[in-house]
Amino acid sequence: MAGYAHYKNSKISVQNFEPLFNTQWSLVVTPPPSINGWDLVLESITSVGGLETNKMPGIITQKYKGTDRSFVGGLVEGTFVDLTINFEVNLNDANSAFTFKELRKWCDLAYDPLTGRFGLKKDYIGGPAVLSAHNKAGEVYRQWTFPTIFPTTAMPAQTFDYEADGIYKIEGMIFRADFWDEVIL
């Protein structure tokens, strides 16, 4: 009988449906052409957030003789997505913090704080960025494609602390995507 707490009453159990794990994903970001050494930066990504792709218009309300009538509005606020990507930083054989260096070069394409030069969007956009969520067998069940992407935050300042035991991380880097495609299987 359905409803009793027994293994045989759970379709998920008897049909061996797998749970989804938040660790089963991959992100491939193509930077602007002037950025090189990017494959190692992709290996440094630890997490991605900000996938606010389920948009809804606000609610509007009208009054009729003291009662409220509510409707879905006709305007969606924020039709873009701001992805938050976190990285860990390593030094290569040349003693270069390549993740920091390549991210900084990308940010400098939009605005270089050392020279005051502003870039044109055509020069600082990268893309596509493709985020794929998959099962343990690597089969994709949901995928977002962001045709253009660019950083919108400055590189976070590094903190030095004799009391802290940990590695250098670049956290909270925000990348703007003006639009996206999404596939849900």
> Is residue 7 over pLDDT 90?
no
Dihedral pair phi/psi, residue 9, rounded to 5°: -90, 0
Cα–Cα dist 168/146, whole Å: 28
Mean pLDDT, the chain, rounded, equals 94
Nearest 5 degrees, angle CA 145-CA 150-CA 151?
Answer: 125
pLDDT attached to residue 12: 87
pLDDT band for 6, please (50, 70, 90 cuts). confident
Query: Are the C-beta atoms of residues 164 and 180 closer than 8 Å to each other?
Result: no
In a domain, 61, yes or no: no
In a domain, 161, yes or no: no
Whole-structure pTM value: 0.89
In a domain, 83, yes or no: yes
In a domain, 165, yes or no: no
Going by their DSSP bridges, the two strands 181-184 and 140-146 should be labelled as antiparallel
In a domain, 134, yes or no: yes
In a domain, 62, yes or no: no
Mean pLDDT along residues 55-69: 93
Residue 137 belongs to domain spanning: 19-51+79-150+171-185
> Is residue 3 over pLDDT 80?
no
In a domain, 7, yes or no: no
Q: What whole-number percentage of the chain has pLDDT above 70?
A: 98
Phi/psi region, residue 172 (left: phi>0; alpha: psi -120 to 50; beta: rest), is left
Amino acid at 23: T
pLDDT attached to residue 165: 87
Q: What are 97's two structure tokens? A: 């913090």
pLDDT attached to residue 145: 98
Mean pLDDT along residues 143-158: 95
Amino acid at 151: P
CB atoms within 10 A of CB 95: 6
Q: What are 132's two structure tokens? A: 């794929």
> How many CA atoms are closer than 13 Å to the CA of 89, on its beta-carbon side?
19
> Is residue 1 over pLDDT 60?
no
In a domain, 130, yes or no: yes
Number of domains in the chain: 1
Lowest mean pLDDT among 2-11, 80-89, 112-121: 2-11
The separation between the first and the last C-alpha atoms of the chain, rounded to the nearest angstrom, is 31
pLDDT attached to residue 4: 81
Mean pLDDT along residues 142-152: 98
Sign, CA dihedral 44-85-157-148, equals positive
Most distant pair of Cα atoms in the chain: their distance: 75
Q: What are 95's two structure tokens? A: 């003693």
Query: Are the C-beta atoms of residues 48 and 138 closer than 8 Å to each other?
Result: no
- Helix spans in the chain (H): 11-14, 38-43, 98-110, 121-124
Mean pLDDT along residues 166-171: 94
